[in-house]
Structures are given as C-alpha cells and as structure tokens.
Structure 1
Amino acid sequence: MAGDRAALVGSGMALIGLASLAATRFKQQATSRLAGTRRQSAALIGTSDQLDPDAAVHAARRLNRAAGVLAASVLADSAVEHYRGQFHNNAMFTPLVTASLSLAVSAHGNADKRPLAHHARDAVYLLAAATGLVGTVFHSYNVLSKPGGLTWQNLFYSAPLGAPAALSLSGATGFLAERVRDTPPGMPPTIAGVAAGRVVGVATSVGLLGTMGEAGLLHFRGNYQNPFMYVPVSLPPFAAVALGLAALGRTGQRSRWTRALLRLTAAMGYAGAGFHLRGVARQMGGWRNWSQNILNGPPVPAPPSFTGLAMAGLAALGLLEDHPDD
C-alpha cells in the first residue's frame, strides 16, 4: 500500500510538472505573438512614443490659416464684385457674411491649441461650403439666362462661375482642419478611416485645378497681354499633379519637388495681387480714379486664393511625411 501511495504521489507530481511546463510554454508563445502583433502595429501606424502628441493640432492650425486666407480672398473679391452689381439681389450679401464668419473662426482655430474639434467652427465652415455651392448655382443661372446661353461672351462678362467655389474651398479646408484636430493623442490623424494627409492632399489638388481653370478663363479674356499671365495656368497644374501623386503614392518620404512647387504657387498668389494692382494703376486715371478702376480693372483679391490652397497643400505634405500609413 505504501508503495502504491508513493507511486500515485509520484505520478501526480509528474502530471503537475508537465502541466506547469505546458502552461509556461503556452504563455511564452502567447507573449511572443502579442509582441509580434505590437511590432507590426507600430510599424504601420507608429506608437504613442513615436508620434508627437501636438502634431495633429499643429497641422490643424496650418489648415485653419489656409482656410482663413481663402476666406479673406473671397470676402474682398465678392465685396468688390457684388458692389459693382449694386447688390441688386439681397442674396449677394450672403457671401460677405459667411466669408467674414469663416475668416473669424479660422483666426480662432489658429489660436486654439486644444486637441478637440470646435462645434461652432464646424458649423461656420459647413455654412461657408454650402454658401459657395449655392452661389455657384446662382452664377451658373446668371450665365445661362443671358441671350445666347453658354457663350464665351457670357462666360467672360457675366457672374464668374468659379468665384463662389473659393468659399466652398475655405469651408471644406476648415472642416478638414477640425477633423485633423480631433485626433486621439498618440494616434495618426485620419478622416473617415483614411490617412488625413491623403484626404487633404487630394482635395487640395482638385481645388488647385479648379482655381487654375477660373484664372485661365479670365486671362484668356485678357488675351494674355502680359507673359506673366501664363504663370497661373502653368505652375498650379504641376503643383496639383505632384501633390495628388504624393497623396495617392507612398507616404513617409520627403517630397522636395512637391514642396518647392507649392511654395512657388503660394508666392505666385501674392505676386499676382501685385500684378493686378499694377493693372489697376494702368487704367485711365490710375489710382486717382481708384473707385472706378478697382471695379473695372483686374480683381486684386483673387490671386491669393492660390496662396491659401498652396498652404493647405503644404499642410497635407506635412501630414503625409510625419504620419506614414504604408
């Protein structure tokens, strides 16, 4: 009996030892798999230690500034153009109000360092985007209702089709800024599950091409009498394509050529305002007849819209470089 009990005890101890060994082995394998999964996740999206917790807010503020430049351009341009139209329709006051609000909330967003989206800014940006869309419908109706309909004459001298779109771009840029800002700390910025840099880059690329089309139409009306008038229809397309390729391609790499093209486009916007000022001065009477010449000369506030879009593109590049997703 004593021998049987000793055998049973020995067998029990052996079973306990085997169970302990199996549990230890299972724990080691599980830990190894978990570590591998964490390494893979870190390689894809980065870890909280690798990501700057303030990076999303910094990118959002850059986009707020871009939205503000676009809003300022629209505010000044629509004020001049609608004053020339004598505000014969009360709706012509609307873009002045919404552009002013967009400019104000953009300044507020630029000063705001909190990593949270702001509901009031969101509401104003959405209102600005909607106002731009409605304005495009109004301007299209203005062109098509003229005798002859969609003709070069009506496109040249009726309500500019592309002008209200700049207000939509301001609203869209600001709204995207709030989505970037609303990123959990330590996580890469995403919009609708897609890397924020890709979304902002593609949207900005499309905006640059649309703005280039409007500039091309008006410069064609001016018969490209100055060689510099070719710049707004030649430089922005290269910047737009380069930015689009960067947004759709491999991320995490510095795009020096794209950055250079966007910076040149931003500078071109300010230079264009200077050229338009010169165009106003060359009208009969010059600046002594400013009240007439500003209304009939080249639109001084329009070119900086390129600057605003280029600023948004540079913010998108920063997001693509700092937060790779491949």
Structure 2
Amino acid sequence: MDIVATRLIAGGAAMLASSVLADSGLEHYRGSFANPTMVLPLGSAALSIAVNARRSGKPESGGSEAPTISHVASTAVGLIGLGFHVYNVTKRPGGLTFTNLFYGAPVGAPASLVLSGMLGGIADRLSKGEEELGPIGLTSGRAVGGVVSVGILGTVGEAALLHFRGAYHDPFMWLPVTLPPIAAISLGRDVIEDTVRPATTVLLAATAVVGILGVGFHAYGVARNMGGFRNWRQNILAGPPIPAPPAFTGLAIAGLGALLLMKARR
C-alpha cells in the first residue's frame, strides 16, 4: 500500500512540475526572458519531472542525494518566483489592484513549483523508509493530505481570479472553482479527524478529471481566437493557458496517495 501511495505522490509532483515547465516556459517566453532568473523555473521543473517520474515508477530509493537536491531547488526557486511575481504586480501604477492582478505576472503560479518540491521531498523520504520529517509524521498521510488540501485551495484562487477576468462567459468556467474546493475541504476534514470518507476519494478523482478537461477547454479557447492554431505563435500566448489546469490533476493524484497512507495506518 505504501509503495502505491509513494508512486501516486511522486506522480502528482511530476504532473505539477510538468504544468510549471510548460506554463512558465510560455509565459516567460512572452516576457522575452527579460530577467535572467526567468530560466530558473524551467530548469528546476525539468529536473523535478525527471526525478519524480523515476520515483513514481520505481519508489525504492537508490541512495542518491540528487532527488533531495532537486526537491530543495524546486521549493527554493518557487519561493523566489513568488517574490518576483508579487513585486511585478505591486510595482505597477496603482499597486495591488485587480487590473494589475489580471495582467501582471500570475502571483500564485510559482507556488505549483513549491508544492512539487514539497510533495517530491515527501515521496523521496517515504521511499527511503523514513517515517518523519523533523517533527512532522509522514507515514500517516495526514501531512501530505494537508499540503494537497491547501494547494488545491490556492490553485482554485488563481483559477477564480483569471476566470473572473474572463467574466465566466462559459458556464464550464465555474467547474474548477466549485468542485475542487469541495474536494479540498473534504480532504482537510479527513486530515483533521484522521479518517477517510469514500466521498473524499470520489471528489479527488473528479478533481483530477477536471484538470484534464481543462486542457481541452483551454485549447478550445485558443482555437476560437482569430486564425486558431494556424496562428499558434500568437494565440497560444494570448489565449487561456493550456498547461495550467493539470495542476489540479497533479494535486488530486497526490491527494489519493495521501488517502492510501491514511487507510493503511488505520
């Protein structure tokens, strides 16, 4: 059971890193990589994908310190990115306004890299048979569940802001801001009460599907722009971010891993 859970947590971290790599690659390309540090999330996300994808397929630890370095780097780069994105928004005329939040650097986007680093680090510790990370117990699954619950709520906030910018012109735009928060709250309740409800599993599975569906909806949004994908160089940058929704999928997969750990310890 622990092996499957470790694979799910590592797989969720890899999915998050994949979303970051593609999304930050597009967004920072649009920004012409004006700041040299804009290449950092691409490198750390690529390394995180390699490490976590390997761990999801082979959870047994090989004793190398490379995974630990990768997870620490992802977390650090994500935190630095949060600072840069907040600065990018607040330095604009008017400071912290909805207009600047809409069209400045996406404030919450780098947090996905932080979450990838944290989840990858937990999966790495579990694969080594370690039961604790400092004062935090890992094998109970509650720590992972807490991280995933908070991460889903943060991702919902980012989606809500950008979908508000789009005036929720499509009813399906309400889906990622209604179902995932219910899943996050249900998971958080299970973590607090140290129990596993069948509804939480169903909600997390549905949240994973929402992330996959979001890719299709965002691709459709790009195709609706003048020229569609024939004018992909412009429309992919101007349309809804296609790589963003899988962040929900990655977090939901890691959440399912947390539930397996919680069940195994009961």
TM-score range, shorter chain: over 0.9
Correspondence for 2:3: 57
Correspondence for 1:309: 251
Does residue 222 (structure 1) correspond to residue 166 (structure 2)? The answer is yes
Asked whether the 8 Å contact 1:118–1:178 carries over to 2, the reply is no
Between the aligned partners of 1:233 and 1:280, the Cα distance in structure 2 is 21
Within 5 A, what are the aligned runs for 1:73-152? 73-114=19-60, 118-152=64-98
| 131-140 or 60-69: bigger deviation | 60-69
Going from structure 1 to structure 2, the CA distance change for 1:193 and 1:99 (only over 3 Å counts) comes to closer
Correspondence for 1:247: 191
Correspondence for 1:29: none
Correspondence for 1:212: 156
Within 5 A, what are the aligned runs for 1:151-170? 151-170=97-116
Asked whether the 8 Å contact 2:6–2:59 carries over to 1, the reply is no
CA displacement at 1:70 relative to structure 2? 0.3
Between the aligned partners of 2:194 and 2:93, the Cα distance in structure 1 is 50
Residue correspondences, number: 264
CA displacement at 1:179 relative to structure 2? 1.9
CA displacement at 1:117 relative to structure 2? 6.1
CA displacement at 1:182 relative to structure 2? 2.4
Correspondence for 1:182: 128
Between the aligned partners of 1:123 and 1:287, the Cα distance in structure 2 is 39
**TM-score, structure 1 as length reference:** 0.78
CA displacement at 1:112 relative to structure 2? 2.3
Asked whether the 8 Å contact 1:116–1:181 carries over to 2, the reply is no
Correspondence for 2:230: 288
SS in 2 for 1:261: helix
Give the share of equivalent positions with the same residue, in percent: 51
Does residue 272 (structure 1) correspond to residue 214 (structure 2)? The answer is yes
Between the aligned partners of 1:175 and 1:265, the Cα distance in structure 2 is 23
In structure 2, runs of 5+ residues without a counterpart are none
CA displacement at 1:131 relative to structure 2? 0.4
Asked whether the 8 Å contact 1:63–1:312 carries over to 2, the reply is yes
Match among 221, 232, 242 for residue 176 of structure 2: 232
CA displacement at 1:118 relative to structure 2? 4.3
Asked whether the 8 Å contact 1:183–1:190 carries over to 2, the reply is no
CA RMSD of aligned residues (A): 1.4
Between the aligned partners of 1:243 and 1:117, the Cα distance in structure 2 is 32
Going from structure 1 to structure 2, the CA distance change for 1:302 and 1:113 (only over 3 Å counts) comes to closer
Deviations 1:69-109 (A, max 9, x none): 00000000001000000111111111110000000111221
| 158-167 or 172-181: bigger deviation | 172-181
Asked whether the 8 Å contact 1:57–1:115 carries over to 2, the reply is no
Based on CA coordinates, which of the two structures has the bigger radius of gyration? 1
SS in 1 for 2:110: helix
Runs of 4+ off more than 6 Å: none
SS in 1 for 2:240: coil
Asked whether the 8 Å contact 1:235–1:265 carries over to 2, the reply is yes
SS in 1 for 2:141: helix
Correspondence for 1:257: 199
Correspondence for 2:147: 203
Asked whether the 8 Å contact 2:60–2:128 carries over to 1, the reply is no
Asked whether the 8 Å contact 2:48–2:74 carries over to 1, the reply is yes
Between the aligned partners of 2:61 and 2:27, the Cα distance in structure 1 is 38
Asked whether the 8 Å contact 2:79–2:110 carries over to 1, the reply is yes
The higher-RCO structure (CA 8 Å, 6+ apart) is: 2
**TM-score, structure 2 as length reference:** 0.95
